[in-house]
Amino acid sequence: MPDLYRSVLLFGAPGVGKGTQGELLGHLPGFVHMASGDIFRALDADSVLGRKFHEYSSQGLLVPDEVTIEVWRDHVHSRIEQGTYRPDAELLVLDGIPRNTAQCAALEAHIEVLQVVHLHAPDIDEMVERLKKRAAKHGRVDDADESVIRRRFEVYDEETSPVLKYYDPDLLSEIPAVGLPAEVLLRVLETIVPVYRARFGNPL
């Protein structure tokens, strides 16, 4: 097992389609998708961490860094123990973490970043509508209030977008997140398949 989890980071503003692309990638042999939002939403709502997550997400704010890293690390360990993530043979696709430069620094002890995929779409209003539709479809209360959604964009600009400058520019791939999900997936795969092959070969 490698000392560091070899990883690809999915980045982009709320509603840009990170979760969709991550989920699609997670169905392919050799890729394991982990979304911090899904990890937090799976917490017991009555637990200390579950209540803390709701307290922040309901305001459109980020969960404190130390809590985020602790929950993420425990989740990765549990996936390894369950056999649903094999670090020596699978590339970790991270979605929603790291969300600021402090988390980047904290994660250096855990991950080796091989590629940073930045999904971008120009129309914020369109992404707001996407999030509202997603909230209605999946019952996600953190996406239901437009003022909270727009606050999330402000938080992204202030805290998360600087992450793109934290990593070596040679690791960064700018990918338009417009068109069909399959079209966007093709662009993502063109970027990360060579990264996977260079490190793991053929997983089959």
At 86-124, the pLDDT tens digits run 999 999 999 989 988 999 999 999 999 999 999 987 677
Q: Could you identify the residue written with the tokens 């209605």?
A: 136
133-186 pLDDT, tens per residue? 776 776 666 566 778 778 888 877 787 788 889 999 999 999 998 889 999 999
Q: Report residue 52's pLDDT band, with 50, 70 and 90 as the boundaries.
A: confident
Domains of the chain (ranges, CATH numbers): 5-195 (3.40.50.300)
Q: Report residue 203's pLDDT band, with 50, 70 and 90 as the boundaries.
A: low
Strand 5-11 and strand 91-95: the pairing is parallel
Strand 111-120 and strand 31-35: the pairing is unpaired
3-17 pLDDT, tens per residue? 799 999 999 888 888
Q: Is 59 helix (H, G, I), strand (E, B) or coil?
A: coil
Q: What whole-number distance in Å separates Cα of residue 105 and Cα of residue 187?
A: 28
Q: Is 70 helix (H, G, I), strand (E, B) or coil?
A: helix
Q: Is 18 helix (H, G, I), strand (E, B) or coil?
A: helix
**Of 172, 131, 197, 183, nearest to 21 (Cα)?**
183
- pTM here? 0.80
